[in-house]
Structures are given as structure tokens and as C-alpha cells.
Structure 1
């Protein structure tokens, strides 16, 4: 079924009617016999406090360009009234092109495939708990560090090479785990296994950022999260059943077989999506990033006499590089003011999540005297609430984005990249996160005291469902805000997110036992909820100042790029001067 869907993607993108090329299917693609002679006049002015940078490209134009988008602060003019812009935001030359050649259904298939790759990280972390509880606390650190390399690597080299690395390392580690009996070897190989699987969540979010714009990112990040939410829900059940009936070695054989079966069609058909490698998806990537789907799309374009923008193809090839990932990129993102608030907030949410899930095994065993299988089944309400919430909250986030866009008269373009400097992204995303974090705190307090007073089983299970729903909703809103802030470094930003959540999750896991012993479940989970409430005003600060901080960061980045361009031009000019001098000397 999956292979047939990938074949249909190639057929649909290549067999659009020759006289009516769909903008959804071809973004950067241009018809050879209808190349326009129009040139755009672009003027980019970036102002900061101490300097003004102005880049101009002068040429003739048949059409008048739309006026600049007026300066707005949260959509309110000087009189204090909502004032929509007089004209639509002016796109740059790249923004006027389609964001992705894939249709909506094809985007969903691509993102869901990447999401299932992300399934292997949480299912691996949870599947062995019933059989190998002694290793449970040793893995959070490596799970946080490994994605910092994988995410940065995929943002430069492409998603496909990163997926190949993850699955090859993961499968080999599982085979080793399945055949060994030494505890030391088990720990080492389990760390290698984690290094392979943990980067897949960052890659799934990177793929989602590649194929969709901010206007529909809420729904698609929900698709990208489904695999990572499904893993914790079914991992303990699978692990408990295999451990009880086949032995714990078969847990790793099962993971190796499952990963191998999934990896083969992924390797053959999953297309490269990174904009730094393939643009909108229509440009030919380097050979090691190519897939059968990409080859069939390229062949169809050629058969229909459709030619790419050769200048952009050349630029993509010249700028492409496979280099050792620099973890400092992740740290740079982590210490930006706005991103630090988002990352720390997500870390606190996941610390609470780990506190709840880690406590299920010990608390339910002590209170309700459950065996491993019954305890594993108790994870289902939490996972079910998480999955339902991811879909609903994703749609609500997209609705809130559209609501603010209508209020400001801002154009909503689902297949065009837009400059969002004058759009209140922080409001559109965090207005959803704030109520959820407050409700989630109250639910966690109720959960703790239900366990403290040993109520009937139905109570904690119902609360677990809503706890999963609220935690997932907060995480999703913050994650989308982070990707919106770094769309060209989505995997690296998600890796930074993974680093914070795993480090704070490790802290939560390590202190949970002592707190439960000394305070009891009621006060332990009340303390965790109070941490969320104390943190929540930071999101209000981000709503107020986040847009201003984004503009300042964009100005600094533009200045850095301009400085880099001037340095390259100077280097080229010097090289040409040296060659000229050598030529003169040779003539003499």
C-alpha cells in the first residue's frame, strides 16, 4: 500500500496537463516555452538600532509591485484601533514561488511516514521497561545529546542521509542487543541504539517544516507527532507480552525486524524535502539524497518539456555540503531569549510527563497490586488522550493563526512562504498553550491526590487521559512556535527541544522516587504543577516582546549574511587580480 502511494505521488506530479500546470505541483518549475521576460524590482531594507542595511537589485518591471506592508505592533495603529494593512505583504523572489510541489494528500503521506520514523524513539525507550527496569534511568542524557548532531546534519546534508544513518545504527544495535548476554554490553549497545533512534523525532519535525508553511503547520506538526505519541502508549504492552512469553532478547529482535521492514521502502521511495537541497522538491538532489520517487518526478518533468530555474539549481549545488554537524548550532538556538523560554517550558512539561509515566509502574503496583501486563495497559488512557489532543489542538492552532490574519488583513498563503516579521506569531501560538498549561496543572494536582487517597482505579485512569491531552497540547503549541522561529533550521531547533526535555526529564526521573517516599504522591505532583504555574508568566512576556525580538534577530542575521557576501566578493576580486597579474607576467 505504501509503495503504491509513493508511485502515485510521482505520477501525479509529473502528469499534470501540459497546458495547465498546477501551482501546487510545480513551484520553482518554469515552462521552457513561456519563460517570462519580466524582472522584479526588489528592495530590502533592514534597520536596527545602530545601522541600516540596504540591498538593491535594479531592473525594469511591467507591473507595479505591491506597497510595503505597514509597520504594525500587534495589529494596532497609533490611535489604538485595529488597522488592517492597505495592501498584502510583499513577497520576496523566493517567497513568490510555491513552497512545495506536493499536494495536501502527498504532504500528509510524507509527514506521516516521517512521523512513523519518530515512533521508534519512544517505543524503544518504553518497550523494555517491563523486562529491564534497571536500565530505565540511564538513557535520558544520550537521548538528549544525540539529536543535536543528527538535527544539524540533516539541516545541511538533507533528511534522507540523516534517516539512513539513524536506521542503520539502530538496526545494527538491536541485532547486537539480541545476541549478547553481558550487562555491560547491554548498556553500551542500548546507548548506541538510542543514538540511532532518538534523532528521528527531530527529523520528523524537520520534514513537516519543509513541506508546509506557518498557515497550516499546526495540523501537520500534529501528524508529525503521532508516531512519537503512539510509542509510549503501546511500547510497554508489546514489551510486557514479548518478555513474558518469548524472553527479553526477543524485544530487540522484534525492533530490528520492524525497523528493517520499514527502512527498505523508506530508502527506496521517501523523497528528499530539505529546501537547502531540493528547493520546493522539484530540483534534483545529489545522488546520495536521491530516491526513486525523485527520479520519476524528474523524468516526468523532462518528458513534459518543463525546465527548472538553472540559476537556482546551480546555487543549490554550490551551497550544498556534507560536513560534520556542529552542536554549537543547537546551543546558539538554546540561548536566544525567546527560544530559551520555549525550550525551558517544554522541558518542564516533559519533566511532568516523565514524572507521571515513571510513577505509574511503582504507584499502580503498590496501590492496586497490578502485574506488568496490567500496568502496561494503564498507559493506554494517557496515550489516547495525547493522540486525540494532537489532532484537535493542531487544528485549533491553525484556526487561531487564521483568526489573527483576518483581524490584521494579513494574507494566508498555504503554499507560499511569507515574511512574518509583522505578524504576531507569539499570540497566535501561545494563546492556545497558556490555558492548557493552567488546566494541566490542576489535573496533575488532582491526579496526585487521587493516588494519595487510593481512590477507585477509574479516577486516576480518567485523569491520566486528560493529563495526556493537556501536556501534549502545550508541547505541540510550543513546538510549533519554535519551528516557526527557525523554519530553515527546524531539525536543529527540535534537537535543542529534545535536549532540554531529556535533561529535565532525567532530573524528574531521578528525584521522583525520593519525593514520593518523603512527601507522598499528593504533594509530589502538586509541587510539579506549581512549577508549571510559576513558569507561565514567562509565556506572557514572550507574547508581549517576542515579535520585537524576532525582528532584532532577523536584522542581526541579515547583517551577518551581508558581511559574509562582501567577504566572498573581496576574496573573489583578489583572486581575479592575482590571475590577471600572472597573465601579464606570462605575456612579458
Structure 2
């Protein structure tokens, strides 16, 4: 194995501070999915109180998902240039104020307008915070940090319906928005006090101090003279990012139109559409087939949450193991807290070799879920299959999103915003059409159709597997 001169430390933060920082950022990403999923149990109460049919309340869900895709597209790239903390703080303050308004509104137009602003604030904060892991963790180690980086995205859809069902059943739909406002206030405080700036354009590997207004309060309280000396000794080893150009919303479109990235985003969108179709129709299926109330429906989402969470310890570890294996094949030594040059490592093959078996397995699992639910077997059957679907789809989606960030490491928020925009825009259509499709052909054939589409379109990723590395090398050589 050929040993080259070691690259600079990827971050000067200790292991404990890295985990703490990623956990705080991940909890912010909790807001977007929990805002969507807490809403479901309250739909009937909202319709009665606002004197509108449930179909009009469902329209606010579709609009929420559309804005969920557009918001980060407009704002996300700013954080790659001007820093994570200012964008996150502004988004959280907007989100907190909007939830207070939602808890007090009494008309359908106000509900519609405020839900759009709620989606904007939560999705923008979530996309920006999802980039913190890319700022702090080198490519070879991202898999094992999935348990921290995906904590909020995992817990949001699982906890949202449970908490929403409890609050709606025992208090009222207004209490769900008060809950979100209080949680946003807590997260705003944590970000203000503890979350450091991680944008590598501003702080590099952490050895460059950000502007005084962008420093967490805890650094003022605990700063010592030796900390400054340590910074001066580390700064000479810092790998500086080139000065960025002024960001525009078109940056996300340009990223999404690159050959390799477009293929990955297209398949990630298909996975998301199929998965959200199943997840969004679970309440209606449980109510229709098992006569469950809002609280019982919410408890069934525990199976989903458990499956999503456990994938971080299985598929997440496999991702890192396979990356190291490919690096060794190229004679590259993977050193902890050091970045690996992806010009030599075929990261596409390293990631997708784990993804392909997962995709084909989840296709089988979603067929099993559909037909078990269709024949109304013992509840344990559909819930076990839901666990497997969640476990596998979370792993596949996380791997593909990691690959997108790997290919755009200098602008992770821009890349994430591009991916999020297409997922949410098409996901909104999938959610709107899921129930009519199930009413037409049944849940069993719906699950079978989703699996068939995934398998039929999987050659999109095989295209990336065989030619993605050469496309990326050609682009990097052109840029040089």
C-alpha cells in the first residue's frame, strides 16, 4: 500500500464535540418530518372546527410538501457561502412564530397560508443542518455517524403521529402547534448557545474563527488563552476552500442536471414517492381494515421508526466498510479524521454495491406488506413487513444521499436542496394519488406496482455504477 503525505485534519473538533454538534443539527432536522406527520391525526378535528370538508384540509398537506421542496431550493445554497448558523437561526425564528399563529388561527385561508410558511421554515432549517455532517465527517467515516446525523429524520415520522394522536385525542389540534412552537424555541436556544459554525468556506476545519456575531454563546463563556494558541498552531495545516461565487437558486438546478447527480436524484425520488405512498395511506388502511382510532394508528408507526433507526447500525456500518475496502484496492490508506481523495476512489461503486441488494430486498418487502394488508391478516404481519420496508428504504435512501454529497463536498447544502426539491415535488403528487389508486386496484397491487417500478428503473443506478466515476473524473479534470 502506497502511503502519501497525510492530508490535514478534517476537523479539529474532538470526537465528543463532533457527536454533540451533529446531534443538535440532527434534532433540527426533526422539525420538517414531525410537522408533516403530527398533522395527520388532527385532520378530522380541523375540518369540523373550520367548517370545511376533509378534502380541503388534505390540500394543505399537498401544499406543505410543495413548499418543502421549493424553500431549500431558494435558500439552501446561501448556507454554503454565508454559514449554517445564520440561516438556521432565521428559519427557526420564522418557524416558531408561524406555529404560534397556527395554534391561534380560526379560518381555512389562514391555515393554508401559515402551513406554507411552516413548511418553508422547517424544511430550510432541516436541509442546512443536514449539511453539518458533511462539514465535520470525512467520506470514509460517514456511515457510522448515520445514527447521529439521521436521528431527527428517523424520529420525526415515527414520533409525529404518536404525539399528534395523543395531543389531538386528549387536548385539541391546537396543542400540536403549541408543542411544535415550544420545541422550536428549545432548538433555537440550543443552536444559539452550543452549535458552532461548521461551513468549511468560513471556518475550514474549525481552526478559523467565524465573525463575532456567528459564534455560539458557550465559546464566550469557556474560551481560554490556550484555545487561541491551539487555533494558531492548527491554522497552518488547514485545507482552505476556494472563495465561493455568490449563490443563486439556479445552483441547485445546475447540480441536479449533472449526468451522475441527475440519475441518483431521479432514483431517490422514485424511492421516496413509493415509500411516502405507503406511509401516508397507513392511517386510512388501519382505520378501514382494523377499525383503529387516531392513537392506535399513531402507535403502529413505532414499527416504522424502529426499522429506520436500526438501519443506521447495519447498513451504515456496511457503507464505511465497503469504502475502506475500495480505498485499499487503490493503495490508499484511510486515516481517521482525514479526507480521502475521491479522484482515485470509485465512490460510486463503494456506495452502490451496498445499495443494490437493499433495493431489490425492499421491493420484495413492500410487495409482502401490500398483500398482507390486503388480506387483513393478523396485525403483526403488516407491521413486521413495515419494519423491514422502513429498515431497508432508510438505508438505501441514506446511501444515495451520501453519494450525492460525496460528489459535491464543497456545496453539500446546495446538493441536498436539489435532491430535496425533486423528492418533495413528486412526493406531493404521489401522496395525492395514493388513496385513489388504492381504491381502484387495492393495496396489494399498489405495493406490487411500486416494487415493479423500482426494479424496472434500477438500471439508472447501474448507469452510475459503471460510468459515474469516469464522468466525475472528467469533470474534475476539466475544472482543474
Query: With structure 1 as the length reference, what TM-score do the two structures score?
Result: 0.76
Tell me which residue corresponds to 1:238. Answer: 163
Separation in structure 1 between the aligned mates of residue 207 and residue 220 of structure 2, nearest angstrom: 10
Kindly indicate whether residue 132 of structure 2 is the aligned counterpart of residue 207 of structure 1. Answer: yes
Pairwise CA distance, 1:128: 1.3
Separation in structure 2 between the aligned mates of residue 376 and residue 336 of structure 1, nearest angstrom: 40
Tell me which residue corresponds to 1:327. Answer: 249
Q: CA RMSD in A?
A: 2.1
1:441-466 CA-partner distances (Å, limit 9, x unpaired): 01111111112222111110110000
Pairwise CA distance, 1:504: 2.0
Kindly name which structure, 1 or 2, has the bigger radius of gyration based on alpha carbons: 1
Tell me which residue corresponds to 2:54. Answer: none
| Aligned pair partner of 1:404 in 313, 326, 330 | 326
Change (3 A) 1:543 1:300: farther
1:42-98 CA-partner distances (Å, limit 9, x unpaired): xxxxxxxxxxxxxxxxxxxxxxxxxxxxxxxxxxxxxxxxxx6xx33567xxxx321
Whether the aligned pair in 2 keeps the contact of 1:204 and 1:224 (CA below 8 Å) is no
| Aligned pair partner of 1:124 in 35, 51, 62 | 35
Pairwise CA distance, 1:543: 1.1
Separation in structure 1 between the aligned mates of residue 142 and residue 433 of structure 2, nearest angstrom: 36
1:5-43 CA-partner distances (Å, limit 9, x unpaired): xxxxxxxxxxxxxxxxxxxxxxxxxxxxxxxxxxxxxxx
Kindly indicate whether residue 104 of structure 2 is the aligned counterpart of residue 172 of structure 1. Answer: no
Contiguous gaps of at least 5 residues in structure 1: 1-83, 559-588
Separation in structure 2 between the aligned mates of residue 426 and residue 125 of structure 1, nearest angstrom: 32
Separation in structure 2 between the aligned mates of residue 125 and residue 556 of structure 1, nearest angstrom: 42
Q: Secondary structure, in 3 states, of the residue corresponding to 1:171? A: helix
Tell me which residue corresponds to 1:162. Answer: 87
Whether the aligned pair in 1 keeps the contact of 2:143 and 2:312 (CA below 8 Å) is no
Change (3 A) 1:369 1:310: closer
Pairwise CA distance, 1:541: 1.6
Change (3 A) 1:341 1:294: farther
Tell me which residue corresponds to 1:100. Answer: 11
1:394-440 CA-partner distances (Å, limit 9, x unpaired): 11100111122223321102322332111110111011110000000
1:368-383 equivalences in 2 (<5 Å): 368-383=290-305
Tell me which residue corresponds to 2:380. Answer: 458
| Aligned pair partner of 1:150 in 45, 68, 75 | 75
1:529-544 equivalences in 2 (<5 Å): 529-544=451-466
Separation in structure 1 between the aligned mates of residue 205 and residue 437 of structure 2, nearest angstrom: 51
Tell me which residue corresponds to 1:196. Answer: 121
Tell me which residue corresponds to 2:53. Answer: none
Separation in structure 1 between the aligned mates of residue 80 and residue 294 of structure 2, nearest angstrom: 41
Tell me which residue corresponds to 1:271. Answer: 196
Separation in structure 2 between the aligned mates of residue 556 and residue 298 of structure 1, nearest angstrom: 44
Change (3 A) 1:311 1:431: closer
Answer with 232-241 or 197-206: which moved more. Answer: 197-206
Kindly indicate whether residue 24 of structure 2 is the aligned counterpart of residue 113 of structure 1. Answer: yes
Tell me which residue corresponds to 2:181. Answer: 256
1:327-383 CA-partner distances (Å, limit 9, x unpaired): 111101101111111111111111111111111011111111111111111111011
Q: Secondary structure, in 3 states, of the residue corresponding to 2:339? A: coil
| Aligned pair partner of 2:64 in 139, 151, 173 | 139
| Aligned pair partner of 2:361 in 439, 444, 452 | 439
Pairwise CA distance, 1:111: 0.7
Separation in structure 1 between the aligned mates of residue 348 and residue 69 of structure 2, nearest angstrom: 26
1:482-523 CA-partner distances (Å, limit 9, x unpaired): 111111111111111111211221121121122111111111
Whether the aligned pair in 1 keeps the contact of 2:140 and 2:339 (CA below 8 Å) is no
Pairwise CA distance, 1:101: 0.5
Tell me which residue corresponds to 2:49. Answer: none
Separation in structure 1 between the aligned mates of residue 121 and residue 405 of structure 2, nearest angstrom: 23
Whether the aligned pair in 1 keeps the contact of 2:351 and 2:400 (CA below 8 Å) is yes
Kindly indicate whether residue 317 of structure 2 is the aligned counterpart of residue 395 of structure 1. Answer: yes
Tell me which residue corresponds to 1:88. Answer: 3
Whether the aligned pair in 2 keeps the contact of 1:174 and 1:255 (CA below 8 Å) is yes
Tell me which residue corresponds to 1:38. Answer: none
Whether the aligned pair in 1 keeps the contact of 2:32 and 2:122 (CA below 8 Å) is yes
Pairwise CA distance, 1:479: 0.9
Pairwise CA distance, 1:391: 2.8
Whether the aligned pair in 2 keeps the contact of 1:282 and 1:298 (CA below 8 Å) is no
Tell me which residue corresponds to 1:497. Answer: 419
1:489-528 equivalences in 2 (<5 Å): 489-528=411-450
Change (3 A) 1:222 1:344: farther
1:505-553 CA-partner distances (Å, limit 9, x unpaired): 1121121122111111111111111111011122122111111011111
Tell me which residue corresponds to 1:415. Answer: 337
Whether the aligned pair in 2 keeps the contact of 1:160 and 1:289 (CA below 8 Å) is yes
Tell me which residue corresponds to 2:399. Answer: 477
Separation in structure 2 between the aligned mates of residue 303 and residue 476 of structure 1, nearest angstrom: 37
Separation in structure 1 between the aligned mates of residue 236 and residue 358 of structure 2, nearest angstrom: 47
Whether the aligned pair in 1 keeps the contact of 2:140 and 2:340 (CA below 8 Å) is no
Whether the aligned pair in 1 keeps the contact of 2:373 and 2:444 (CA below 8 Å) is yes
| Aligned pair partner of 2:142 in 213, 217, 220 | 217
Separation in structure 1 between the aligned mates of residue 301 and residue 328 of structure 2, nearest angstrom: 41
Contiguous gaps of at least 5 residues in structure 2: 45-56
Kindly indicate whether residue 103 of structure 2 is the aligned counterpart of residue 181 of structure 1. Answer: no
Separation in structure 2 between the aligned mates of residue 549 and residue 309 of structure 1, nearest angstrom: 35
Query: With structure 2 as the length reference, what TM-score do the two structures score?
Result: 0.92
Residues paired across the two proteins, number: 465
Deviating beyond 3 angstroms after TM superposition, the runs of 4 or more aligned structure 1 residues are 88-91, 293-306, 308-313, 318-321
Change (3 A) 1:319 1:297: farther
Separation in structure 2 between the aligned mates of residue 151 and residue 303 of structure 1, nearest angstrom: 32
> By percentage of residues, which structure has more helix?
2
Whether the aligned pair in 2 keeps the contact of 1:221 and 1:480 (CA below 8 Å) is no
Q: Secondary structure, in 3 states, of the residue corresponding to 2:277? A: helix
